[in-house]
Amino acid sequence: MSAPKPAPDLTTLAARAGEEARPNRSAPLVEPIYQSTVYAFADLDDLDRAMSGEEPASFYYRNGTPNAATLERALAALEGTEAALVAGSGMAAISAALLGVLRAGDHVVTDARVYGVTYALLAEEFPRLGIEVSFVDACNHEEVAAAFRPQTRVLHVESLTNPLMTVPDLPALAALAHGRGALLSVDNTFASPAMLRPAEHGADLVTHSVSKYLSGHSAAFGGVVCGRADLMALARTRLLRLGGTMSAFDAWMTLQGLKTLGLRMRAHSGNAQAVADVLVNHPRVKAVYHPGLSDHPQFHLAMDLFPNGFGGMLSAEIEDAPGFVRALAGRIPLAPSLADVVTTLSWPWGTSHRPLPETERRRLGITPGLLRLSIGIEDIGDLLGEFEAALES
C-alpha cells in the first residue's frame, strides 16, 4: 500500500493551481489569453451541452472566459472551497455574493469597520432594494447577537479590518450566525489565503479584491467570491445579469501574480512585523495598529488565527503626517491602494473612508493623522532606514 500523498504547501499550490495539463505534444507552459468574445461549435448538440452547463465550455465572454475559469479553479483551491466566481472588481464580487442570497425584506448585520465602498453599498444601495442593514462592532459579540432579527440572512465582516487591523473572532461569529440560520460572509482581502482561510473557520462566502495581494503588483483588477457550489451558482446568476464579468486579460494577469503569493506574503509579513516593532518604540509615532504587537486588543486571538503572520498592512498615527509623507516622496509613494510588492502609504481619512460621515470616522479611530502603510517586499534594512530618516527630518 502506498503512503497517502501529503497535501501541498500553499506556496506550491499557489504556484501550480488552476492551470491544467494540455494534451498537445508541445503546449504553452503558461495558458494563453483567450481574447475572443464568442466561441464556435461543431454542431447543435455541442452547443446545447455548453448552454445547458452539462459540459462546461465557454460560449460568450460575459458568461466567462477560459482564463476566468482557470483563475476560479486556482482561487477555490487556495481558499479551500468547493467553487469560486471571479468578477470585474472586488465590489462586483461582494455585490454578487450578497445579492446571490438576499432579497427584499431580508436583513444584514455588518461590522461598521468595513471598507468604505462596502459601507456605502450596504448603507445606501441595499435599503433601496428593500434590504435592511445594521452596523455593529463585530468584536462585541453581545452587540452582534442583539442586532440579529428573524429576517437576518447574512453577517458580513473583514478578516483584518481596514485600516486599524482589528481581528474579528471568525469561529465565534460563524457559530453565532449559523445558530440563527444566517451565513457568514468574510472579506479576506487584507489577509489573503496565505495567512488565513476563512472557510476553515466557518465562513460561507469569502470575498477578495484580487487587485490587492492575490495579483500583487497593482496591475490587474478584479474580484472573487469563494464558497459552496450552490452559493456560487446564485452569485453567478446575479453577476452575469448585472454585467460584472472579469476581463480575460485581468484573469490572466492575476494568475501570473498568484504564482508567487506564498513567497510574497512571507516577505510582506516579516517586513511589516519589523516595521511595526520599530515604529511602536519611536517617540514621533503616537500609535501603531498591527495584530503582532502585544498591545493589540485581539493579540492572542490573532496569534491563534494567523499562525504564519498578518500580511503587509499596518497603520500608524504619526506626529506630523504631512511632513512624514513629504519626507518619503520619491521613495515611498502616497497611493490610495495596497498590497503592491513596493511599499506604499495611504491616507484613510481622505481616501478609503471618505464616504463615511466625519463623526463616524472619528468614532472608529480614523483621524486625519492616521497613515496606512502597505509594506512591500524590499530589503528590510533599506525600508527601516527610510522610515527612520523620514521621522527624524
Ligand X SMILES: *Cc1c(COP(=O)(O)O)cnc(C)c1O
Instruction: Give catalytic residues, as residue numbers.
Output: 62, 115, 187, 212
Instruction: Show Cβ contacts of residue 337 under 8 Å, excluding neighbours closer than 6 positions.
Output: 211, 212, 218, 344, 346, 374
Residues 170, 186 contacting (CB under 8 angstroms): yes
Task: Work out whether strand 152-158 and strand 107-111 pair parallel, antiparallel, or are unpaired.
Answer: parallel
For cell 446575479, name the residue: 238
DSSP alpha helix (H) spans, 8-122:
10-16, 44-52, 66-79, 90-101, 116-120
List strands edge to edge, sheet with 183-187.
Answer: 83-87, 223-227, 205-209, 183-187, 152-158, 107-111, 132-136
Give the residue, chosen from 163, 193, 202, 223, that forms a contact with ligand X under the rule CB under 6 A: 223
For cell 481616501, the residue is 351
Map the footprint of ligand X across residues 289-328, applying CB under 6 A: none
Q: Is 111 in the site for ligand X (CB under 6 A)?
A: no
Tell whether residue 126 is a contact of ligand X (CB under 6 A).
Answer: no
Identify which range of 84-92, 102-110, 175-183, 373-381 contacts ligand X by CB under 6 A. Answer: 84-92
For ligand X, the closer of residues 58 and 315 by Cβ is: 315
Binding ligand X (rule: CB under 6 A), the pick from 111, 158, 169, 250 is: 158
Q: Minimum CB separation from ligand X for residue 198, in Å? A: 13
Of the candidates 301, 292, 276, the residue with the CA atom closest to the CA atom of residue 372: 276
Q: Is 209 in the site for ligand X (CB under 6 A)?
A: yes
**Binding residues for ligand X, how many (CB under 6 A)?**
14
Smallest distance, ligand X to C-beta of residue 244, A: 10
- Going by C-alpha positions, the residue among 275, 263, 287 that lies closest to residue 375 is 275
Residue 91 found at the interface with ligand X (CB under 6 A): yes
Spatial separation of the C-alpha atoms in residues 290 and 303, rounded to whole Å:
12
* Residue 187 binds ligand X, judged by CB under 6 A: yes
89 binds ligand X per the rule CB under 6 A: yes
Q: Rounded to whole angstroms, how far apart are CA atoms 166 and 158? A: 9
- CB nearer ligand X, residue 148 or residue 190: 190
Question: Which of residues 111 and 148 has its CB atom nearest to ligand X in the complex?
Answer: 111
Q: Does 162 bind ligand X (CB under 6 A)?
A: yes
State which residue, 91 or 314, has the beta carbon closest to ligand X. 91
For the CB of residue 349, give the shortest distance to ligand X in the complex, in Å. 16
Q: Which residues would be at the binding site for ligand X (CB under 6 A)?
A: 89-91, 115, 118, 158, 162, 187, 189-190, 209, 211-212, 223
